[in-house]
Structure 1
Amino acid sequence: MAWGMWTSTGQAQMIVAHRGASFVAPENTLASFREAWKQGADVVEGDFYLTKDGQIACIHDKTTERTSGGTSKLKVADSTMEELRSVDVGSWKDPKYAGEKIPTLEEVLATIPEKGKIFVEVKCGPEIVQPLQTALKESKLRDDQIIIICFNQDVVTQCREVMPQYKCSWLTSYKQNKLTRKWSPALKKVLETLKRTGATGLGTQGNDAVVTKEFTEAVRDAGVECHVWTINDPKQAQRYAALGFDSITTDKPAEIRSAVEEAK
C-alpha cells in the first residue's frame, strides 16, 4: 500500500510505525522508516540519544550491542556520531539489510513526506533539549509534523517550556503490586503528571487492565490527547480505536491499519 492513500485529518486514529516498520526492517534505520511510509503509516516513531560530540543519533538502546547483533558494544553517550556510524545495524535483522547505519535525527526528518509526521522519542535526559531545539528548528518540517515524546518528566516539562510550538506527550508504562494487585501509576497520579509537565498528550502502554473507558475519558476531560503503544494484535488495535485513541503505535502499520479500517 503506497503512502498517501490514507489521511488522518478528520478521521480516526493515526497509525504510528514503531521505530519504523520494525517487524520487517531493522528498527530505527532509514530502511525501516522508508518501509513505514510504503506501508501507509501516518507517523513514524524513532528513538534518539545525544552523542558525545553533540549529535543526535537514532537508536533505542544505550549501547549498540543488541542492534549490531553483538558485534559492537559502543555506549552512545560516550561515542561520536562517526564512531556510531561505523556499526552495521541491519545484518542482525536480515542479510539484505547489511550495511544499514545508525541515522542522525536530520536524516530521519528528511524521510518525512509533506503529509507525514514524526514522534521524536527522547531516550536520554534534559541535556538533549537545546540540541534538539536547534535540529528541529533547522528542519524543513512544519511545527505540526513534529511531536516529542518521552518518559522523562523533566524532558517533557523543558520541551514544553522552550518549544511550545510542538506537541509533547508524556509516556508511561504500569507495574502491578503483587499483594494489592493495584497498578501504578494510578489514574490520579497520571493526571497530576500530565498537568505538572504541561504535556499535550499521554502515550500509554497498551495495558488493557489499566486503560479502560473511564481512564480514557478522564484523560480526555483533562484536555489531553490519548496515544497508545505498542499494539501488534489486530483485535487489541480495534479496542483502542473504539476507545477513540488519537494514535496507535505498532510494528506492523499495514496490518493494524487494515484491522482498524475493517472495524469501522
Structure 2
Amino acid sequence: MAVRFTLALGLGILSALAGSVGVVHAQNIVAHRGASFDAPENTVASMKLAFEQGADGVEADFYLSSDGEIVCIHDADTKRTAGVKHVIVKTPLAELRKLDVGAWKNEKYRGEKIPTFAEIAETIPAVKKFIIELKTGPEIVAPLKEALAKTKLKDDQILIICFNEKTVAECKKLLPNLKCHWLTGYKQNEKTGEWTPTLDEVVATLERSKADGLGTQGDMKHVDAEFIKELCDEGHCEFHVWTIDNPKVAKYYQKLKPWGITTNKPGFIREQLNAKSTKVPAAAAK
C-alpha cells in the first residue's frame, strides 16, 4: 500500500478535487441513536424528534433479551440509561420494559421505555432510512429477518451495520437483498504512530464478510481523502462516517461523498452543511 499523505496534503487533494463545486450534499444525514443530543438515545421519542429535525434516517442499536426479543439499547446493560443494572441478554423483555430510560436525559422524557424493534420500525416514514446496528453475534440475524418481515419497510430503506464480522457475514447470507456495512474504529500506536486496523486489514475484512460497505469512525487524522481514495481503488467505494457533530469535520467528509454522515445533531449538521460557511461558535461545535 502506498505511503498515505498527511492530513494537510489530503486536504489539498480534496480542495483540488472539489474545484468550484457549490453546496455538496451527503446522501444521508443519519441521526445517531435518534436525535440523541436533545432526547434520550434509542427511544421512540428520539427517533421521532430526529425526523422532525430533518434527518434522512435514524440509527438504532439492538440486542436480544433473554427471551429472544429484539430490544433497542446501546449498552450491554441498563445501568447508564436506567440507573439500575440489568444485563440485557440475561433479562426478559417484560422486566426490561419496567425500566425508565428517559428521565436521565430530561424530566420531560420520564416514562420512556426500552423499545422493541417493532416499535422503532414503526417510527420510520416511508421515504426515510433505518440504520440497524446489531450489537451481538450472528444469533440475532434470524430473529431480525422475522421481525423485518412483519414491517412495511422496503429493502432500500434499510442498512444493517455491525462491528462483528461474523454477524455481517450472517446478514449477507440470510438477508442478501439488504445492504450491510462492517463497522470499525481505529487505534494509533503511540510509539510507532501506526494505525490499526490498517487499510489492508479493513479491505480484507470487507471481502471476507462480503460487506457492502464500510462504516468508519470519522477520524480525520487517519480516515482522510487519501484513505478513501485507496479504499475505493481496492473496490470498496461505499462508506459512511460516524459520529460527526463538528460542522467542519462534516463538511470535510461530505465532499468525499459518503453514503451518509451519522450525527447526534441532525438538524444542526444539515443546517451547517448547507451554509456558505462552517464557522460556528466553539460551544456549538462540540
TM-score range normalised by the length of the shorter chain: over 0.9
Cα shift at 1:11: 5.4
Cα distance, 1:263 vs structure 2: 5.0
- Whether the 8 Å contact between 1:15 and 1:42 is mirrored in structure 2 is yes
- Per-residue CA deviations over 1:134-193 (Å, capped at 9, x if unaligned) read 111221100111110000000001101110110000000001111101110011111111
- Give the C-alpha shift of residue 246 in structure 1: 1.6
CA deviations on 1:38-73 (whole Å, 9 max, x unpaired) are 0000010000001111100000001000001x2x21
TM-superposed deviation, 1:223:
3.6
Whole-angstrom distance in 2 between the partners of 1:262 and 1:195: 38
What is the TM-score with the length of structure 1 in the denominator? 0.93
Counterpart secondary structure, 1:133: helix
1:259 aligns with 2:272: yes
Q: 57, 61, 74: which is aligned to 1:43? A: 57
* Match 2:227 to one of 215, 219, 226: 215
Secondary structure of 2:230's aligned partner:
helix
For 1:256, what is the secondary structure of its paired residue? helix
Matched, 1:140 2:134: no
Q: What letter corresponds to residue 220 of structure 1 in structure 2?
A: C
Query: Map of 1:236-255 to 2, 5 A cutoff?
Result: 236-255=249-268
1:203 maps to what in 2?
215
Question: Can you give the 5+ residue segments of structure 2 that lack an aligned partner in the other structure?
Answer: 1-23, 278-286
2:73 pairs with one of 59, 70, 87: 59
Name which of 132, 139, 149 aligns with 1:120.
Answer: 132
TM-aligned CA distance change 1:81 to 1:224, over 3 Å = farther
Cα drift, residue 126 of structure 1: 1.0
Deviations 1:63-87 (A, max 9, x none): 000001x2x2111000111110100
Q: How many residues align?
A: 253
Structure 2 distance, partners of 1:47, 1:220, is 28
Q: Quick one: which amino acid aligns to residue 61 of structure 1?
A: D
Name the residue aligned to 1:176.
188
Partner of 1:31: 45
User: Which stretch shows the higher mean deviation, 10-19 or 139-148?
Assistant: 10-19
| Residues 28-107 of structure 1: pairs in structure 2 closer than 5 A | 28-68=42-82, 70=83, 72-107=84-119
- Give me the CA root mean square deviation: 1.3
Q: Report sequence identity in percent.
A: 53
Residue number in structure 2 paired with 1:3? none
Task: Give yes or no for the alignment of 1:192 onto 2:176.
Answer: no
Task: Tell me, in whole angstroms, the C-alpha distance in 2 between the residues paired with 1:11 and 1:250.
Answer: 15
Instruction: Compute the displacement of 1:212 (Å).
Output: 1.4
Once residues 236 and 163 of structure 2 are traced to their aligned partners in structure 1, the CA distance between those partners, rounded to angstroms, is 19
CA distance in 1, matches of 2:230, 2:189: 23
Contact 2:31 2:50 in 1 (8 A): yes
Offset of residue 12 of structure 1? 3.2
Amino acid corresponding to residue 56 of structure 2 in structure 1: D
Equivalent position amino acid for 1:42 in 2: D
CA distance in 1, matches of 2:152, 2:165: 28
- Do the aligned partners of 2:242 and 2:263 also contact (CA within 8 Å) in 1? yes
Mapped partners of 2:57, 2:209: distance in 1: 24
Residue in structure 2 matched with residue 6 of structure 1 by the alignment:
none
Q: CA deviation at 1:224?
A: 3.8
Equivalent position of 1:4 in the other structure: none
Structure 1 stretch displaced more, 223-232 or 144-153:
223-232
- The answer to whether the 8 Å contact 2:26/2:261 transfers is no
Q: What is the deviation of 1:209?
A: 1.0
Aligned partner of 1:139: which letter?
A: T
Separation of aligned partners in 2, 1:104 and 1:130: 16
Structure 1 segments unaligned to the other structure (5+ residues): 1-9
Which amino acid is 1:248 matched to?
I
User: Radius of gyration: which is bigger?
Assistant: 2
Match of 2:6 in 1: none
